[in-house]
Structure 1
């Protein structure tokens, strides 16, 4: 399917909204497409006409490989690149690349490359999620100008999206394996390739999975989140707590921080929107490619297109990789990456008049099978492309979930970059099935978590 026909396909989805903009839920006839012409999560089941994107046949089976200390073996280890995109042959592939990817070739013409492998539609979610998703298609609507949800049950709000905002909500509400703990490392680099690092231990608990879940008290809470600094020694003990709300216009995100040196818990309203993140290399709402309230932007659905995006990133997550080998000057070691041709939703966010943010425009590309943002371009107030983000997604076939093997944010101006969520040297980095109570995510609990 060409980009033009993909845009027509997206426009056809928008027609019900144009007829009645107050409705976002679909009727039963539309919902019946899920699991038929569409996959249970709303992607096109068929491959493309060229045969370069295969049909979705259920994703990887749970026994697709072996799991040792939390590291998954690569079911595609024997494959070699079909071809490699370089600055020299860029023109041949420009239409299948994001503006940000093209900018990286311009910034690093002698070293940046994209190795392209055969495409595999490996994403699979548990059957129980598919049943919930169909109910969401029939029932979920937006409120507060699209900035909140009603009648939502986790996961995935809009498997048949009709607007750019609904596509963005799908990234925010996508299935991530349920409640989990994780231990990951972030690297902040210099232009020459030097780096500093930090390791964090996170917990994310969806309210519907809490042991003491109360639907009335938690009706506007999507999840609870804590992050504890565990290394290096100078950073140990700092803790962040977040109560993530579904409608952040009605009830803004609530956050607290514990400073181990001062032994004090403070409200942290700045942990949102464009407040600076690690190394001042990304904004706080840029973590997980985008998080938080979408209310400061108008979100335009451009359509769908085929792109070369990071996918099935087992090579990058291999524990045999040293971080000195992965973190190279200017950009990640692209020899350790894997890109495939996939269909993505294209959404452009433009800052609303009267609103404030360091990014005037955000250009997002969302994988149709996992609803994960895989590429994101960020423009400054002058309209110049400033930062480029890539999400190297990794399917955990045994638990039927997807994580990031590395979330990269490249600053085109400074030549620095941030590499987040790296797991190469952490055994059992992700553990699912977290059992928690509401009391585990209160300001009073932070002091106990932050004891050195």
Structure 2
């Protein structure tokens, strides 16, 4: 029998469990009715801003083949900057800049930001719009890592908590399948670098129009990923296989690693969080891939609201095949004549480390584009509350599938003067979105067979 002490203890345990995994309510039908009206179908404000420096949403139309084409928009690509932010005029624009951009501008006389006219061209397929509206009234967040009753579209188009915009980023539509080159460079303070070449295959489960995999509190696998390192020789033949799921621990991400030295594939629980990504010499953590793709459980997430900010956008030049890596990688920072910046509205989310957990970053501040739900920048702070790293993702829009992504992504390491470039495709082929994969392609046994051929 329970005595009063046991009963009190049981109630306290249940209360702690409830606090650890709160369920955040869905929006009302009236709020969801704004989607496609005052809001875009994925939740951004349709209208421009009051002073017309941000225009109304004008979605781009679908065009182009599924393979062989670099990001482009002839109208946008021929424009000239309307102003340039430098160390000399930083005070004029500081309220519209990330802490990372402010540090780059104040630290280096050679750094500048060329700002161009703003264009809001991001669009998605109609199926994503319809599913997003359904999610608005059906999808809910359990804790920070378990979206429940969500299917295909953005799960939280009208976010109420800090974790929800992050999940919109993680579950965004990117096509059915993709093969891409991921070229990486650790750029030394003098501008020298060595290229690492990786070929990545991805199939999307949740955000698949053909066969969407719903997410529930019990199950849901939202993508499968396989990478193969092809250069330099010391890393060539390394494979990383990931089955990405909602949830944490054994119920969440499953990963495997194959190295030529071992000649066998093995489970890799360290493919998580602030463990260094294989082959990056510690310059990128696993949860910094795609700007952020890790579990959320180590942080408390706070939605700070929306701000107008200068961010990398419509970055077709820096992602295109006319820019060579030697022209892009310069001492201390990217060649400032190549990136394109625009003024856009972004959601700002702050993540602070939870008591009893650990991560190299004590605090992270995310800047998430309202039109695409892509994370465009992240300020990363260390345990001394100092800005330790800065991540920057250069947004491009793929008209061929109606989906945005960030190409390339950059991580600035302020303590060393080095920076890391990843997801660059300039000197290889653009994304191939026409590919398909067999049902057993993303399995450990298949990788083992491929590695020994």
Q: Which has the larger radius of gyration?
A: 2
Change in 2 beyond 3 A, CA 1:95/1:433:
same
| Matched residue, 2:35 | 34
| Matched residue, 1:404 | 406
| Separation of aligned partners in 1, 2:66 and 2:177 | 20
* SS, match of residue 392 in structure 1: strand
| Matched residue, 2:45 | 44
- Can you give the 5+ residue segments of structure 2 that lack an aligned partner in the other structure? 1-21
| Separation of aligned partners in 1, 2:250 and 2:318 | 40
| Matched residue, 1:181 | 179
Change in 2 beyond 3 A, CA 1:332/1:223:
same
Change in 2 beyond 3 A, CA 1:115/1:214:
closer
The answer on whether the counterparts of 1:107 and 1:412 sit within 8 Å (CA) in structure 2 is no
Is residue 207 from structure 1 mapped to residue 205 from structure 2 by the alignment?
yes
Change in 2 beyond 3 A, CA 1:352/1:231:
same
| Separation of aligned partners in 2, 1:356 and 1:295 | 11
| Matched residue, 2:12 | none
* SS, match of residue 71 in structure 1: coil
| Matched residue, 2:77 | 77
| Separation of aligned partners in 2, 1:211 and 1:241 | 23
* SS, match of residue 300 in structure 2: strand
Is residue 440 from structure 1 mapped to residue 423 from structure 2 by the alignment?
no
Superposed counterparts of 1:182-331, under 5 Å:
182-207=180-205, 209=208, 219-248=219-248, 251-277=251-277, 278-331=280-333
The answer on whether the counterparts of 2:179 and 2:433 sit within 8 Å (CA) in structure 1 is yes
| Separation of aligned partners in 1, 2:133 and 2:169 | 17
Residue 204 of structure 1: how far off its partner (Å): 1.4
| Separation of aligned partners in 1, 2:288 and 2:427 | 24
| Separation of aligned partners in 2, 1:215 and 1:73 | 33
Residue 234 of structure 1: how far off its partner (Å): 3.1
| Matched residue, 1:11 | none
Change in 2 beyond 3 A, CA 1:212/1:318:
closer
More moved, 440-449 vs 360-369: 440-449
| Matched residue, 2:9 | none
TM-score normalised over the length of structure 1: 0.90
| Matched residue, 1:419 | 421
| Separation of aligned partners in 2, 1:232 and 1:74 | 34
| Matched residue, 1:101 | 101
Query: Residue deviations 1:394-443, cap 9 Å, x none?
Result: 1111221112221000001100010001111112x212254334421111
Change in 2 beyond 3 A, CA 1:407/1:185:
same
Residue 252 of structure 1: how far off its partner (Å): 3.1
The answer on whether the counterparts of 1:375 and 1:390 sit within 8 Å (CA) in structure 2 is yes
| Separation of aligned partners in 2, 1:303 and 1:310 | 20
| Matched residue, 1:123 | 122
Residue 24 of structure 1: how far off its partner (Å): 2.5
The answer on whether the counterparts of 1:24 and 1:142 sit within 8 Å (CA) in structure 2 is yes
| Matched residue, 1:172 | 170
Residue 231 of structure 1: how far off its partner (Å): 2.1
The answer on whether the counterparts of 2:214 and 2:220 sit within 8 Å (CA) in structure 1 is no
The answer on whether the counterparts of 1:228 and 1:450 sit within 8 Å (CA) in structure 2 is no
Superposed counterparts of 1:354-373, under 5 Å:
354-373=356-375
The answer on whether the counterparts of 1:201 and 1:229 sit within 8 Å (CA) in structure 2 is yes
Is residue 54 from structure 1 mapped to residue 55 from structure 2 by the alignment?
yes
The alignment yields a C-alpha RMSD, in angstroms, of 2.2
Residue 219 of structure 1: how far off its partner (Å): 3.2
Query: Residue deviations 1:150-203, cap 9 Å, x none?
Result: 111123110111111111111111222232121121111111111111111111
Query: Residue deviations 1:226-263, cap 9 Å, x none?
Result: 11112233322110001111112571311101112321
Residue 68 of structure 1: how far off its partner (Å): 8.6
Change in 2 beyond 3 A, CA 1:69/1:181:
closer
| Separation of aligned partners in 2, 1:392 and 1:120 | 14
Superposed counterparts of 1:346-385, under 5 Å:
346-385=348-387
The answer on whether the counterparts of 1:276 and 1:282 sit within 8 Å (CA) in structure 2 is yes
More moved, 293-302 vs 206-215: 206-215
| Separation of aligned partners in 1, 2:330 and 2:362 | 30
* SS, match of residue 128 in structure 2: helix
| Matched residue, 1:14 | none
Superposed counterparts of 1:81-92, under 5 Å:
81-92=81-92
Change in 2 beyond 3 A, CA 1:213/1:104:
closer
- Number of residue pairs matched by the alignment: 427
